[in-house]
């Protein structure tokens, strides 16, 4: 679950795939936060400006489905008590699930924001320090841990190799290997590789950082990670559709939207030569796709195993921005960022489990998420009064010709709608 803007090398290779889907306008379903099947952009009483924004979003979402995405859902909190919630999907996916913005999704690296909150809560309680060395909490588990601080783990400046780039972990990502893997084993995989740079010298996104943080949280509190999330975030905020997945099974049955990836034939044709031979996704065939909804996300754990809904994710981000989860000092620390792409004036910036994304309509705070079958982005404005979620039901098809660009237009239009602005013409 690398960030969609900070994809690992293996992920970057795999996402060069093409998902060859051909759908026509009448092969698409539209659902939303009104009663299922009702287009919220047409509800009585919606102001003309909001109606136009909803129609623009629906049109852009249709283009994304036409480009090859199996499905896409958008939910926008407008800050005035109203929402725009839309979903579009290819006809062939409706046999599995009728997509809705109410659905649960695997949110991938959006998990990291929750982990960041947990760590900073313990900082505020003087149970850990951001300057604590990893070696203090995880002796012998992280090479060079005496030089790596918890803050470096949080903002991806540790230099630790990302375990997701290991072929053995890739086999678990695709479902080819169904054996169990522990967080300690994930750290051991990373430890087989040399560090990327001296700790603190640079930025490099690595899921290893958050596997380590998950273990630190458990050791510092004596509680397992799922319980910590439940007691400190999920239950206090009433996030009834949010949980840390510990297996591929859906806790709530068909509430979990289905996710898809290209089948073995298309994967084999499009993978780079250095990719492991036989790389393919496990799951039931769906034409030239594979249904990957129930792939085990155990390998993602503290780095990306959260399941949630757009509404729950937005409630969490708004509560964070409002100061309901962290004292002012820790919230300010969380928003202390490093640049992700040096030299790029439009680069996203990474804080302590949260990203600052400079959209065409202004900066927003949140995170991206990516696990097989699901690509997500969740953001809020500076005040926490407005929020937005965009989820597509594929990951490795996102770099197919035209798909990534279509998705970016949906995301930017949704963010601009959240901010009460129109998408600039040069971004359209």
Q: Give pLDDT, residue 109.
A: 98
Q: Report d(CA 48, CA 250) in Å as an integer.
A: 39
pLDDT score, position 262: 86
Length of the chain: 428
pLDDT of residue 75: 98
Q: Which residues contact 283 (CB under 8 A, 6 or more apart)?
A: 175, 261, 290, 291, 292, 293, 294, 295
pLDDT reported for residue 39: 44
* CA angle centred on 392, ends 279 and 26, rounded to 5°: 110
Question: Six-digit token pair at 162?
Answer: 């990302």
The string of pLDDT tens digits covering residues 373-393 is: 999 999 999 999 999 999 999
Show Cβ contacts of residue 95 under 8 Å, excluding neighbours closer than 6 positions: none
Cut 0.85: pTM above it: yes
Which tokens hold the place of 340?
């992700």
For the chain, which residues score pLDDT lower than 70? 1-46, 269-270, 272, 428
Q: Reduced to 3 states, what is the DSSP secondary structure of residue 301?
A: helix
Question: Residue 91 corresponds to which tokens in the numbers above?
Answer: 């006809």
**Contacting residues for 299 by C-beta, under 8 A, at least 6 apart:** 163, 164, 169, 172, 173, 181, 186
User: Residue 363 has which token pair?
Assistant: 């900066």
Residue that has been written with the tokens 């998990």 in this structure = 111
- Give CA–CA dist 232/42, Å, rounded: 39
* Residue 13 near residue 167, CB atoms below 8 Å: no
**3-state secondary structure at position 209:** helix
The pLDDT, as a whole number, for residue 151 is 98
Q: What is the pLDDT of residue 45?
A: 59
For residues 86 and 30, the answer to whether their CB atoms sit within 8 Å is: yes
pLDDT of residue 23: 26
Using the structure block, give the residue that is written with the tokens 């293996």.
10
State the Cα–Cα distance between residues 225 and 221, nearest whole angstrom.
9
From the CA atom positions of the chain, what is the Rg in Å? 20
Per the CB < 8 A criterion, the answer to whether 299 and 178 are in contact is: no
DSSP 386: -
Antiparallel, parallel or unpaired: β 387-392 and 289-291: unpaired
Per-residue model confidence (pLDDT) at position 166 = 94
* Torsional sign, CA 297, 292, 409, 243: negative
Active site residues: 109
């Amino acid at each position: 679950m690398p960030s969609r803007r900070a994809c690992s090398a293996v992920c970057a290779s795999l996402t060069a795939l093409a998902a060859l889907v051909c759908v026509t306008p009448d092969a698409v379903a539209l659902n939303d936060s009104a009663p299922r099947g009702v287009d919220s952009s047409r509800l009585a009483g919606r102001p003309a400006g909001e109606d136009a924004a909803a129609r623009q979003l629906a049109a852009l979402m249709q283009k994304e489905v036409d480009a090859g995405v199996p499905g896409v859902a958008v939910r926008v909190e407008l800050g005035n008590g109203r929402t725009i919630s839309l979903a579009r999907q290819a006809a062939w996916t409706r046999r599995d699930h009728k997509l809705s913005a109410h659905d649960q999704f695997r949110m991938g690296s959006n998990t990291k924001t929750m982990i960041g909150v947990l760590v900073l809560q313990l900082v505020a309680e003087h149970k850990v320090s951001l300057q604590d060395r990893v070696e203090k909490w995880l002796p012998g588990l992280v090479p060079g841990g005496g030089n790596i601080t918890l803050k470096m783990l949080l903002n991806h400046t540790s230099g630790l190799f990302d375990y997701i780039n290991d072929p053995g972990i890739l086999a678990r990502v695709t479902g080819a290997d169904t054996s169990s893997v522990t967080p300690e084993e994930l750290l051991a995989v990373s430890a087989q590789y040399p560090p990327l740079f001296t700790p603190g010298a640079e930025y490099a996104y690595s899921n290893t950082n958050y596997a380590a943080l998950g273990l630190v949280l458990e050791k510092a509190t004596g509680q397992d990670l799922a319980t910590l999330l439940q007691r400190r975030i999920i239950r206090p905020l009433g996030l009834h559709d949010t949980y840390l997945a510990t297996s591929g099974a859906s806790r709530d049955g068909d509430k979990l939207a289905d996710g898809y990836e290209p089948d073995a034939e298309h994967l084999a044709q499009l993978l780079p030569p250095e990719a492991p031979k036989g790389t393919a996704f496990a799951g039931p065939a769906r034409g030239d796709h594979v249904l990957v909804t129930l792939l085990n996300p155990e390998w993602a754990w503290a780095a990306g195993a959260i399941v949630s809904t757009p509404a729950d994710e937005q409630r969490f981000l708004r509560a964070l921005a409002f100061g309901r989860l962290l004292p002012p000092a820790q919230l300010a620390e969380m928003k202390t960022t490093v640049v992700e792409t040096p030299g790029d004036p439009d680069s996203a910036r990474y804080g302590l489990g949260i990203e600052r994304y400079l959209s065409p309509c202004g900066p927003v705070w949140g995170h991206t998420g990516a696990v097989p079958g699901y690509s997500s982005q969740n953001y809020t404005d500076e005040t926490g009064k407005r929020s937005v979620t965009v989820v597509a039901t594929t990951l490795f098809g996102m770099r197919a010709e035209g798909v990534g660009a279509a998705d970016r237009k949906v995301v930017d239009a949704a963010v601009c709608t959240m901010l009460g602005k129109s998408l600039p013409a040069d971004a359209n």
